[in-house]
Amino acid sequence: MPSQSEITVEVAYALPHEQLIVPIIVPVGSTAENAIYASGIMKKFPEIDLAVNKVGIFGKATKLDTVLRHLDRVEIYRPLIADPKEVRKQSAADGKIMRKGGGIFLR
């Protein structure tokens, strides 16, 4: 249980077949970057580069210097493999109809 000068947060990173969520206790006033380093997640996933990978809190993009609140989850995002706009364009060109939620129907 954290003291009044500490908060509990999680740091998350996911690969296609593996994800890791690390709960940690950090001092009040800690930033997303502080939590990422304190979690040790970069030792397990050395491909993480905070100059390249974007981060967010509960799915909303944020900056590394964002001050965290109790029970925040800091997420480290991987670069996209495919541009979603290009995928939609290609699907339309192939005669496919995109459904809300990402499913594809053939015409």
Does residue 84 sit in helix, strand or coil?
helix
Contacts 24+ apart (CB under 8 A), 78-82: 78/14, 78/15, 78/53, 79/52, 79/53
**pTM for the full model?**
0.74
| Shared domain check, 89 and 39 | no
Q: What is the pLDDT of residues 32-66, one digit of tens each?
A: 999 999 999 999 999 999 999 999 999 999 999 99
| Shared domain check, 99 and 50 | no
| Shared domain check, 37 and 19 | yes
| Shared domain check, 92 and 64 | no
The more confidently predicted of residues 66 and 104 is 66
At residue 107, the pLDDT reads 47
| Shared domain check, 96 and 70 | no
CB atoms within 10 A of CB 41: 20
| Shared domain check, 89 and 57 | no
At residue 40, the pLDDT reads 97
| Shared domain check, 58 and 17 | yes
CB burial of residue 45 (10 Å; 0-12, 13-18, 19+): middle
Q: Residue 17 sits in a domain of what CATH number?
A: 3.10.20.30
Supply the DSSP symbol for 41: H
Count of structural domains within the chain: 2
| Shared domain check, 85 and 56 | no
| Shared domain check, 58 and 39 | yes
Q: Is residue 1 part of a domain?
A: no
Answer whether 7's CB lies under 8 Å from 69's CB. yes
Q: Give φ, ψ of 41 to 5 degrees.
A: -65, -25
Range of the domain at 15: 6-76
The more confidently predicted of residues 95 and 78 is 78
At residue 84, the pLDDT reads 65
